[in-house]
């Protein structure tokens, strides 16, 4: 009997304690007014609509050097934070980093939702020189830059090529969506010679529609092929050939790997390409045209040989003219 009475008293005491309005004594309890710690929670999604959760974003509370990652739903939480205003930094490779300033005020728990902007990604990049040898020993040297970009946000505004040392910042032309290119002369880049670019770092910089800038690639110009490649036959308008001519050139001797690229044009105000062959081995000195060329006696033609290295740098021979026998 006494034992049952004792149990009833203990039960009533336990109920009274639970219903008591006295302060909680757990120092980590958010409801405890003596708790000096703070906490953050939130969610991270893509800037692009439809917005999707981003897993694996590093969320860093810099005051206490605490870093957590978002889960598969994009959620995160940080606890036991010092009661001091600071910065919450969001970072994941492939996205533009972002920072949220946290001011606690009277709050012990704050919720932060963040949208991250996906960085454009480089798909391909070619930086190469082109040397055209013209009559009377004239050489025309140009720089070509060709860039393909993956733009998941579809918000790329402008693409630039930049070099800080040479004070270069020039816009590339958008040819099709995601593909940008431009041909530059030394004057357009403010240089005395394009030789100044060899080995110098060139950055491909993208500016999006919000004004953010991303450096998505770095590369350089490997060489300018200034050596002259020469045609052997036919080489002037007095030379007449069959509708299936064999084009012959002098062997091009340089200290790097390359291939030949041969083209035939009709000689008009605006020359028209009528035949070409690429990837001819570098030990070759001739190629036979296997598609018939018009034998109209009023038509004149010229042909050129290119030597193209593994980086797409190239040099072109002086044009060589010929006629086709009817």
Structural domains in the chain, CATH included, are 2-116 (2.60.40.10), 121-219 (2.60.40), 231-324 (2.60.40.10)
Q: What is the pTM of this model?
A: 0.75
d(CA 300, CA 321): 7
* Nearest to 145, CA basis, from 134, 169, 161: 161
Residues 6+ apart with CB under 8 A from 4: none
Q: 221 forms bridges with which residues in the sheet?
A: 198
Q: Are 159 and 180 in contact (CB under 8 A)?
A: yes
**Six-digit token string for 197:** 């670019």
pLDDT of residue 150: 93
3-class secondary structure, 204: strand
Q: What is the DSSP letter of 95?
A: B
- Give the CB-side neighbour count of residue 130, counting CA atoms within 13 A: 14
d(CA 211, CA 145): 23
Along the 326 residues of the chain, how does pLDDT read in single tens digits? Answer: 445 555 554 555 555 545 555 454 555 455 555 567 899 999 999 987 889 999 999 999 999 899 999 999 999 999 999 899 999 999 999 898 999 999 999 899 999 999 998 889 999 999 999 999 998 889 999 999 999 999 888 889 999 999 999 999 999 999 999 999 999 999 999 999 999 999 999 999 999 888 888 899 999 999 999 999 999 999 987 778 889 999 999 999 999 999 999 999 999 899 999 999 999 999 999 999 999 988 676 789 999 999 999 999 999 999 999 999 87
């Amino acid at each position: 009997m006494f034992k049952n009475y004792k149990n009833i008293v203990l039960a009533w005491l336990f109920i009274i304690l639970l219903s008591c309005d006295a302060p909680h004594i757990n120092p980590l309890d958010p409801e405890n007014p003596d708790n000096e710690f703070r906490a953050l929670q939130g969610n991270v999604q893509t800037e692009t609509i439809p917005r999707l959760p981003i897993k694996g974003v590093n969320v860093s509370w810099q005051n206490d050097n605490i870093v957590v990652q978002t889960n598969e739903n994009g959620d995160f939480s940080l606890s036991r934070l010092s009661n001091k205003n600071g910065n919450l930094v969001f970072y994941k490779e492939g996205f533009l980093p972002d920072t949220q300033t946290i001011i606690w005020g009277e709050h012990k728990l704050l919720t932060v939702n963040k949208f991250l902007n996906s960085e454009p990604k480089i798909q391909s990049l070619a930086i190469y020189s082109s040397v055209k040898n013209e009559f009377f020993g004239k050489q025309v040297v140009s720089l070509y830059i060709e860039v393909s970009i993956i733009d998941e946000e579809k918000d790329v505004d402008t693409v630039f090529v930049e070099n800080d040392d040479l004070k270069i910042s020039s816009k590339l032309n958008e040819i099709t969506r995601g593909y940008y290119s431009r041909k530059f002369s030394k004057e357009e880049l403010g240089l005395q010679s394009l030789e100044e670019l060899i080995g110098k770092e060139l950055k491909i910089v993208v500016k999006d529609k919000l004004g953010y800038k991303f450096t998505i690639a770095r590369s350089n110009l490997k060489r300018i092929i200034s050596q002259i490649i020469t045609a052997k036959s036919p080489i002037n308008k007095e030379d007449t050939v069959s509708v299936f001519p064999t084009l012959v050139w002098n062997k091009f001797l340089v200290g790097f790997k390359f291939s030949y690229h041969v083209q035939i044009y009709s000689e008009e105000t605006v020359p028209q390409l009528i035949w070409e062959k690429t990837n001819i081995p570098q030990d070759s000195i001739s190629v036979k045209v296997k598609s018939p060329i018009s034998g109209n006696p009023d038509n004149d033609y010229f042909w050129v040989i290119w030597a193209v290295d593994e980086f797409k740098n190239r040099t072109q021979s002086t044009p060589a003219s010929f006629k086709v026998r009817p």
